[in-house]
Structure formats: structure tokens, C-alpha cells
Amino acid sequence: MPPHSPVPPHNEDLLTVRGLTVSYGESRVLFDIDLSISPRQIVACVGRNGAGKTTLLKTIAGFLKPLSGSVTCDHASLVGRMSYDIARMGIKYVPQDKKVFSDLTVRENLELGSYATKDYNWDRVTDYFPKLKQLMDRKAGYLSGGERQMLMIGRALLGSPKLLLIDEPTEGLAPSIVTHLKTVFGDLRKNTALVIVEQNLPLVCAISSKVYALKEGRVVAALADRESISVDACERYL
Amino acid sequence: MGEAMVKAFRWWWGILLAFLLVALSRFVLPLAFINEVIIFSIYTIGCSFLLGRVGFISFGQPAYLAVGAYGTAFYLSYFGTNPYVGLLLGVLSGLAVSGLVGPLFVRLRSDYFALVNLALAVIIYYLMQKVLADITRGDNGLWFLTNIVATPVLDISSPNQFFIFALLVAMAVWAFYKYLDDSIFGACCLATKVNEDKLMFLGYSNYSVRLTAFIIANTTTALAGAMYAVYLGFVSPEITSPARAADPVVVTILGGTGTLYGPLVGAIAYTGMKDVISKLIGNWELFIGFLLVFIMLAGERGIWGTLQPRLQALFSRNSAPAAMDDRATKRP
């Protein structure tokens, strides 16, 4: 359990991580991580560079195998599953690097998402990101950083995932796009739980209902109610 | 109805034009040369798909060519006389072998993939030359030209009619690869080449995508092998000689890697140079080597990769449909 504000186990938790320890070769990067996410909840992970936030998301998404611990979603263990299996279970990872398939058009990028999920209804995607409608025939390699982020989140929304793992979504984006993403994330919560790794603390505090602070691979605080979530409180643990 | 026909024509016109030019060249070039070009281009298109789309370089394509050729040759030498049945068996042999080795090979990284395929070519070469010499007649090869019977409608035992058959098969192969290029599967192949992790984020198994691409490409190569066998009426272990292992890769690069028409253009250029230059100088491979170095230094786009954007610009200026669309040459 986190040392400061422990979150009790929740019967209705969508995702539960218990005692997760992860290493890159000999070097351990996550130590005994516990966290839980309820359906339709936005959970943020904050921490300095190297705190282990991305490693945590990659482990949940199946790209890294933990040394020990459990990750369960809807009572099904995710440990040992291939990452594409986890994606098919409705847990989508949106990585930090904003690298789309640059040789493919926006339409083809979305078609890839549709074919995998058999969800060909793009209305939800274009409702959230109307700009994508105008960019359908453009090669994704020619999109701006903000447009790429829209495409990546939009593509991940196909198939109505139950959990989105989003890594540093606002990094390097213009303030207007950050404001737009903030609205989108707030709205997505109606159907989807989100785990967001983010350094933009005002954004985190505005949208999250739970915040985990990570430091040197450990959860040092879990702020589990709206009243305790503030920029000052988050900064205290960084 | 009219709109559907226009749409179909726009889709087909590049293929029709390309093979119309090949067909017309029959009047000025020797039949043997054209037949060789057509078969060689089918041989190369699988390699081009693997390299340009999936990012796998294979120095073992002669192995699958030989499997197709020997599949046909065994049937026509020992069991039957119908060349169409022989072709079918050759293709099925290629499908079986690539289905057998594919699950092992596609797990490897691209560099190891290249070498393990080369190793397979060497194994098949020695199997055909020595181990199975009682059946394959070793270096003497299998001769079955006189066993092939005339077939109704299109008699492919005649070189002239074989030319028409090869042209139709090549058009079907090109249409199939164009369809693949346009399909979600084609996008998956490109995506697995560019970033395999990101393809998995979307719920795709890279392994399945690569295996399917591998089987498709090598079955096409086996088809070329089967066509060689029927056309020549002879197959020897030389078809899978490790010395010729780089040929399809060279033709792929020469034509333009990952482009739809690159294998055809590359096959014309390579076979043409081989025929013309080998008459002038003994070591014609030396010339090909220098040419490849030049192509690499000039930007790795190959002949068709360089010509295609210029032709596209020319056609778009004249408001013609820009359907000769090669995704790989339009990359940012």
C-alpha cells in the first residue's frame, strides 16, 4: 500500500495493481507498486523524470514483464499476456512519443484501429476531434504534434475501450490544444477510465479524481479525493 | 454502372498500361526475353513486398523458387502430363514449405531472417544436387519438356501461348498486390515495418501479420518457379544456387523497393543488361554492382521510384487519373 494516503481495495475496481516490481535487466525501476482504478475514473500519475511513470504504463499494457506482483483488470490477470491481447481486452496505451504511422494517411491510421476493433463508427472520434475530418487524406507524417496526439487518442477510442493509458498527452503542445484535450478527457470519463501520466499539474488537478505521486520507482502518495488534490499537494511529493 | 466502370478503370489502368507495353514489346523483342522478364518480375514481386512493405530482406528467395519449380517438375517427370496441374502443385509446394518454415523464420530479426533464408536456399541446393540425386538426377536436372501435353483453350506447351498465359498470370499477380497495398493488411505490413510496438497497441499481432506476408510472398515466388519449370521443361539445382541468391534483392532495389511496378521495371532492366552487356563484356555482374552503388548513392529510390513521381506530375498536369499510385514513393 502507498505509505501516505492509502487507498483501500475497492470491490468495483476496474484495474488493480498489487506489489508490482519491474526491472530493466539488473536495474529495478518500480518497487512494490499498488494502485487501483474504478470504472469511469481519471487517475493521474505524477512524478519527476525517471520516477517510473512510463514504465508503470508499459507494464500494465503488457510491454514489460514484472518481476513480481499482479495486474488485474475485471478480475482477469494481465501479467504474461501479450500486449495485443491486452489491447483487444479494451485497454489501450497511447505512448508519449506521438509517433504515428507516418507513411499512412489519417484515414488509414483510423482504419487500422477500426479493423482491429471492428468498430467502424468514427463519429465519436470526429466529434471529439473535428479537425481530423479535414485531415483524412493527409499523410500522418505531415501532421503537427497536436494533430498527431488527436489522431493517436482518436484511434485508441475506436472499439470503446474500458481503460485508456495515456502517457504525457500534453507534452510540447500549444495551450489551446491542451485546453481542448482537457475538455475531451473530462468528457471521455463518461464511458472510459483513464490513467494519465502527466507533468502538467494544473491539468492533472482539474480532471483527476485520484492522483498517485511516484518518486524513484515508489508510490509516495495517493491523493484519493478531490479536496486533497491540488497543485501544492502534488508538488510536495515531487 | 458508368461510375463503377470508371472507378474500376482507374484502379486497373496502371496495370493494364504496364502489361500492354510488355505485350507490345513482343513485336520488337525476342519471345524468350519477354517470357523471362515476366517470370522474373513475378519472382521479384514477393521479395519486393517483403523488403518494401514488411522490412524483411531475404537472400533465400531461390529456395522458394526451387520448391515451386521442383514441385512442378516432379509431377511432370514422374506422375502426369498436364502443365496446369503441375503449376498448381508447384504453387501448393511453395505454400506448404513457407507455411512450414514461416512460423520459425518470421520470429527472427531482419538480419537473421536474411541469413536463415539463405541457409534454406543452401540446404535445398544440396538436397536437390546430392541427397535426392536419385530423384532429381543431380546436376543433370530433370527434363520433362516432351512429357508436357497440349492443353485446350490456352496451350502453354507452346512458347507463344505461354507468353499470353504468363501475361495474364502477371496481371492477376499485380492486381493482387495492388489490392494488398490498398488493404488494411497492406497498412498493417507497413506499420509492422515502421513500428511494431505501435501496431500491438492497436491489438494486432506482428507475428501474424509477418507470417501472412511471408507466406503470400514466398507462394508467389513458388509460382514463378513453377512457371519457369513449365516454360523451360527443365529444372536443375542451379535454380537455387546460392550464387544467385541476391538476384531478386538486386532487381528489387534496381526497380525501386516497395513500389508496385518496381519489380517489373527492375526485371526488364536487369534481364536487358544481362543480355546486352554480357555480350559485350564477360563480367557483366561487375557492371550491375557499380550500377547498384550508383543507385544507392543517388537516393535508394531505384528506376521506378525515380521515374514515378515525374510521370505522376506529367499525368496530373494533363488531368489524367493518377492511379499508378505507389505508396512507398510518396513517403514524407
The pLDDT of residue B171 = 95
Order the strands of the A76-77 sheet from edge to edge. A27-37, A15-24, A68-73, A76-77
Does the interface predicted TM-score (ipTM) exceed 0.85? no
The pLDDT of residue B13 = 84
Positions in chain B whose pLDDT score sits under 70: 1, 299, 317-332
When CB atoms are compared, the residue of A101, A102, A115 closest to B184 is A115
Q: Do A141 and B332 touch (CB under 8 A)?
A: yes
Report the residue of chain B nearest A109, measured CA to CA.
B187
Q: Each residue of B304-327: pLDDT tens digit? A: 888 888 887 877 766 544 444 444
E strand or H helix that includes residue A29: strand A27-37
Question: For residue B250, what is its C-alpha cell?
Answer: 538486386
Q: Are A204 and A198 in contact (CB under 8 A)?
A: yes
Q: Do B331 and A111 touch (CB under 8 A)?
A: no
pTM of the model: 0.81
What are the Cα distances from residue B68, in Å, to A123, B184, B256? 48, 28, 25
Kindly report the average pLDDT of chain B as a whole number. Answer: 87
Q: Are A106 and A135 in contact (CB under 8 A)?
A: yes
Q: Each residue of A27-66: pLDDT tens digit? A: 889 999 999 999 989 999 998 888 899 999 999 999 999 9
Tell me whether B8 touches chain A (CB under 8 Å). no
Q: Each residue of A58-92: pLDDT tens digit? A: 999 999 999 999 999 988 999 999 999 999 999 99
Q: Are B325 and B11 in contact (CB under 8 A)?
A: no
Total CB pairs under 8 A between chain A and B: 73
Whether the pLDDT of residue A8 is over 50: the answer is: no
What is the residue extent of each domain of chain A? Answer: 15-97+163-237
Question: For residue B189, what is its C-alpha cell?
Answer: 505490413
Q: How far apart are CA B86 and CA B235, in angstroms?
A: 13
When CB atoms are compared, the residue of A92, A101, A142 closest to B190 is A101
Which of A136-145, A150-159, A186-195, B283-292 has the weakest average pLDDT?
A: B283-292
A4 band by pLDDT with thresholds 50, 70 and 90: very low
The pLDDT of residue B327 = 42
Q: Do A112 and B197 touch (CB under 8 A)?
A: no
The CATH code of the domain at A15-97+163-237 is 3.40.50.300
Q: How far apart are CA B119 and CA B113, in angstroms?
A: 10
What is the widest separation between alpha-carbon atoms in chain B?
A: 62
A11 band by pLDDT with thresholds 50, 70 and 90: low
Q: Looking at chain A from residue 64 to 103, which residues have their Cβ under 8 Å from any Cβ of chain B?
A: 82-84, 87-88, 92-95, 99-103
Amino acid of residue A125: V
What are the Cα distances from residue B310, in Å, to A108, A179, B215, B306, B324? 25, 44, 34, 7, 12
Whether the pLDDT of residue A165 is over 60: the answer is: yes
Chain A residues whose beta carbon lies within 8 Å of the beta carbon of residue B207? none
